Amino acid sequence: MLDAAAKTDFPIPTGVFAQTVTEVQHYTDSLFRFRMTRPDTFRFRSGEFVMIGLPNAEKPVFRAYSVASPNWDEELEFYSIKVPGGPLTEHLQKIKEGDTVLMRKKPTGTLVNDALLPGKRLWMFSTGTGFAPFASLIRDPETYEKFEEVIVTHTCREVAELAYSQELVASLKDDPLCGEFAGGLHLYATVTREDFPFKGRITDLMASGKVFDDLGVPPIHPETDRGMICGSMAMLKDTKATLEGFGLVEGSNSKPDTFVVERAFVD
């Protein structure tokens, strides 16, 4: 859809796309997902993030959001928390089909396949809305061309917060592009503050070895395993230390290595 199709009360700032919301789904009081039109000229690598805002002020507030859809998708999808009183999410959570969302034109980020050396098994570690970039990567065939096995871990406080990741992974087997690869994908979902078959923080489950036993895979090893991490500041720090304990080394776009961390969402 053309930028001109979107209606705003304020002039659209330069370097910004104005797009139209096509779908909104609320999961809990604090989590929702939305889809919007994708500008024809917008290119990104699965796993990258963009800055999102609303046309509700002369100088809109922008926040970093991972694109949750894969790069082949005709639309763009985002997964968001609702922060009470949050300068953006307070308003963003009220969007409806047909509304306008602003997006800065340049995507960026470190959670991309290019920033990792080839390996056998890719681990994606997420907590809360940190699952979003992995929602993109697990729908990109390139991920499965590069790795035989893909394990995405998602840890939340409560069971209801797992709905997006669980529904998405369950639906992948019917996906036209990734369905044939879905056998190589495993979702390891854990909960920390309610009863659930798999309980605890992923860092503790790696330290005890339980996650490896549960999945029937050997412990993480630098020759075979690669990692991507997305979550809160404390989670990034602790998961990074755990991976370094297994001998993995942090990489970047300019210097690919055995694991990468996304710091864009950290305060």
Residues of this chain that bind ligand A2P (CB under 6 A): 127-128, 155-157, 192-193, 201-203, 232, 234-235, 238
Neighbours of 80 (CB within 10 A): 22
With a CB cutoff of 8 Å and minimum separation 6, the contacts of 254 are none
With a CB cutoff of 8 Å and minimum separation 6, the contacts of 109 are 45, 47, 48, 49, 66, 133, 262, 264
Nearer to ligand A2P, 76 or 229 (CB): 229
Nearer to ligand A2P, 16 or 159 (CB): 159
The answer to whether 119 touches 217, Cβ cutoff 8 Å, is no
Q: What is the smallest separation between the CB atom of 27 and ligand A2P, expressed in angstroms?
A: 14
**Separation CA 160–CA 154 (nearest Å):** 12
Q: What is the smallest separation between the CB atom of 72 and ligand A2P, expressed in angstroms?
A: 30
Q: What is the smallest separation between the CB atom of 128 and ligand A2P, expressed in angstroms?
A: 4
Nearer to ligand A2P, 19 or 239 (CB): 239
| Dihedral sign of CA atoms 14, 24, 26, 55 in order | positive
Nearer to ligand A2P, 20 or 192 (CB): 192
Q: What is the smallest separation between the CB atom of 194 and ligand A2P, expressed in angstroms?
A: 10
Beta bridge partners of 153: 125, 188
